[in-house]
Amino acid sequence: MPRRPKPVLGPSELSKILANLNRAPRPELVNLKSLKLTYAFRNDHFAARHFVQEELPRIRYANPSLNIEVNKVPKTRKDTWKPEMVVEFENGPTQTLSMDHKWSTSIFEQLMELAGGTPWQRWKKERKAAGLPLVNEPTPKPKEEQKPKREVPMSQLWDTSKKGAAAILP
């Protein structure tokens, strides 16, 4: 009896994760000692939250020795502090980047401008020559279409000729 052909499977979850971690531009940060991010625990600072979810794993993968500290601080409606990223260089100085009212990609571009080095400059030249944006903007998830609710008359919900619990039971 001949063997059944094996089905061709799509990319695995691991290969998708690795493709995301290795996508261009590679966030190799030079002369950087640490990153300290501070943003609200919930209900605010969405750009910082997206940056941490989308870009920080890539930064960690490309810079395993970089010290990254993320502080999620409780914030009430009365508090007015802004999310920030403190970038500390190996030779001592620090610089604070505001993450308020920005896209996660613009925060990434700002960080790469600060510490991206020559690979980032090369990437910028290539993208500019091709007429493309530096970093692709995130694509929003498509909204699911809601099915219209169908109105069912009460007489169809159960048999009105029966009495008691029997009227509800099938």
Q: What pLDDT sits at residue 95?
A: 93
- 15-130, CATH topology level: Glutaredoxin (3.40.30)
Domain boundaries, the chain: 15-130
Q: What pLDDT sits at residue 159?
A: 62
H/E segment holding residue 129: helix 117-130
Q: What pLDDT sits at residue 122?
A: 93
* Residues with Cβ within 8 Å of residue 85, at least 6 apart in sequence: 35, 36, 37, 38, 48, 96, 97, 99, 107, 111
Q: What pLDDT sits at residue 7?
A: 79
Q: What pLDDT sits at residue 36?
A: 95
| Average pLDDT, 10 consecutive residues per value, the chain (170 residues) | 80 89 90 92 86 93 94 87 92 91 91 90 92 81 73 65 65
Q: What backbone torsions phi and psi does residue 145 show, to the nearest 5 degrees?
A: -75, 130
Q: What pLDDT sits at residue 77?
A: 83
d(CA 81, CA 100): 10
Q: What pLDDT sits at residue 158?
A: 61
Contact yes or no for 138/105 (Cβ under 8 A): yes
